[in-house]
Amino acid sequence: MNELARAIGFVPPAGWPAMTRAQCYERLTAPGERFEMETVDIRGVPTRAWKNSPANLRVVAMAGRAHGDRLFTIYEDERVSYAAWFRAVARLAAEFRARGVAKGDRVAIAMRNLPEWPVAFFAATTLGAICVPLNAWWTGPELAFGLADSGTKLLVCDAERWERIAPLRSEFPDLATVFVSRSHEAMVDAERLEDIIGAPNDYVALPEAELPEVEIAPDDEVTIFYTSGTTGQPKGALGTHRNLCTNILSSGWSVAVAALRRGEEPPAPVQKVGLTVIPLFHVTACSASMMGAVVAGHTMVFMHKWDPVRAFELIEREKVNLTGGVPTIAWQLIEHPDREKHDLSSLESISYGGAPSAPELVRKIREVFGALPGNGWGMTETMATVTGNNSEDYLNRPDSAGPPVAVADLKIMSEDGMTELPVGEVGELWARGPMVVKGYWNRPEATAETFIDGWVRTGDLARLDEEGFCYIVDRAKDMIIRGGENIYSSEVENVLYDHPAVTDAALIGIPHPTLGEEPAAVVHLAPGTSASEEELRAWVAERLAKFKVPVRIAFVEETLPRNANGKILKKDLGAFFA
């Protein structure tokens, strides 16, 4: 038993585990079983894949259509059934095609979590286009970069995003058509989305229609999700239909294993209600959550913005079974004084990834809500899920992200990438499986460095135990994760360096009780110049999204400490904020 499991007071139920992980694997992947596997050729590499995974997102959309009057999305007073959503998807896909969107063309989405989001996503992807979900928190210049870099031909956005994008129209010449939702202003160079498909509550009145015909293979390209690069500009991870469809069974795998370990039969799929609080422009929400939701017929409840009290109200009103996303959200639900004013008994599971979580959180979820905790590891380059850890296994190893799902492999490699390290040793985590993306959009050198013979070099430092459970020891170089949002140090440092007074700067993460960590900067000013903390924070805020702005800035008289190679010794900088 794990030392931390003892520390949080976990007592294994009598007879647990009823099966070893190897026995679970053998049982669940046997011929004819739901999790049966097959070996497929992916870009010349023989790869294990789920045999029963949908072939592409058209198949996923058709599965969603079959749920009929079951509610798909709930947002404020807007309630959209699967049948109504599919009508809107078919109508919008036909409009995309009429506007010249063909297979392989890029269609971007830039909006909050709204009912329009999954309509636009499936309208693009079922047409064979490549969907580019852009970070709705980005500033105008950041959004403009994404549109220009991807060569987006058609954009669907909300009015808030269009205000940021419109002034920069000349910077992305490939963009031919813009549909804006929820705009009450007259627009130049853009059309109202509602003029094409109506408002969400009106989708049900759209005529029945089929999706436009197009042939789509599992390894055809389907998404570009941007992930901030350590050299400044974001890189677009180029995903395939197989990548997203793999998540549908990967999400169910850990649940099935947990049941067998408990001595129970894997549960039959049951339609659930989930409170979706992670933005859909993240692979966590889009790939790991929405793909499985559409196939299973789950209901997704959206929020205008995260607010714990509003979350309590929605959990109670909509009888929400599942929520989570990042540890921050779980902590806020647990610690908020209004929690006991609401009936939260419908909650069955609170799961998260995307940021490190304290083992204490695992115990609290079980204790406070009577819900089962879940955790996992993945990244944009793996289209989310690679490992999963939930239920008793998670309580037993509360510091682990879990073992890989059956179709994935992990290994720990030496720093030079030449030697595989033995069990228990810390090194760079490499991952392989049908969820690993094709590479980076238009970045052949970065692709060659990161993707090797089917493996992705994650940049994370980790170790594996004798049962294959993964422990993330440190994260990708210099990355800060604030409440699930990735902040790459170099991007913020480069903006600070642009200030005329700054000659040396470093960004580090400082601990935060609910967000995990927040960005803080240490800065050295040029002799004879001056700048205040407020001035530098405002400088960054004008150029980058708000979550990237340092919460604190410390000034030092000398240049920052460096090693023999000239690299700043960031591990020494935390003392400035102790």
3 state SS for 24-75: HHHHHCCCCCCCCEEEEEECCEEEEEECCCCCCHHHHHHHHHCCCCCEEEEE
Per-residue HEC secondary structure of 455-515 comes to EEEEEEEEEECCCCCEEEEECCCCEEEECCEEEEHHHHHHHHHCCCCEEEEEEEEEEECCC
**Got the DSSP string for 324-360?**
EESHHHHHHHHH-TTGGGS--TT--EEEE-SS---HH
Phi/psi class of residue 212: alpha, beta or left (left: φ > 0; alpha: ψ in -120 to 50)?
A: beta
Q: Is 92 helix (H, G, I), strand (E, B) or coil?
A: helix
Q: At what angle do helices 116-125 and 57-65 cross, to 10 degrees?
A: 130
pLDDT of residue 253: 96
What tens digit of pLDDT does each residue of 101-133 get?
999 999 999 999 999 999 999 999 999 999 999
CB atoms within 10 A of CB 3: 8
Q: How far apart are CA 9 and CA 575, in angstroms?
A: 33
Q: How far apart are the first and last CA of the chain?
A: 34
**From its phi and psi, is residue 341 left (phi > 0), alpha (psi between -120 and 50) or beta?**
alpha
Q: 315 near 88, Cβ under 8 Å?
A: no
Tokens read off for 513:
């009780």
| Residue 363 pLDDT | 84
Please report the pLDDT score of residue 228 as a whole number: 61
Q: What is the DSSP letter of 416?
A: T
* Pair of tokens at residue 81: 């059934």
CA angle 25, 31, 36 (to 5 degrees): 55
At 378 the pLDDT is 93
211-230 burial, b at 16+ Cβ within 10 Å, e below that, comes to bbebebebbbbbbbbbbbbe
Residue 460 has a pLDDT of 87
Of 345, 223, 248, nearest in space to 52 by CA: 248
Per-residue model confidence as pLDDT tens digits over 325-360: 877 788 888 888 899 999 999 999 999 876 556 677
pLDDT less than 70: residues of the chain: 1, 228-232, 354-358, 474-477, 563-567
- Overall pTM > 0.85: yes
Domains of the chain: 3-53+237-474 (3.40.50.12780), 57-216 (3.40.50.980), 481-577 (3.30.300.30)
| AA letter at 73 | T
Q: What are phi and psi of 520, to 5 degrees?
A: -140, 145
Give the Cα separation of 103 and 224 in Å (integer). 14
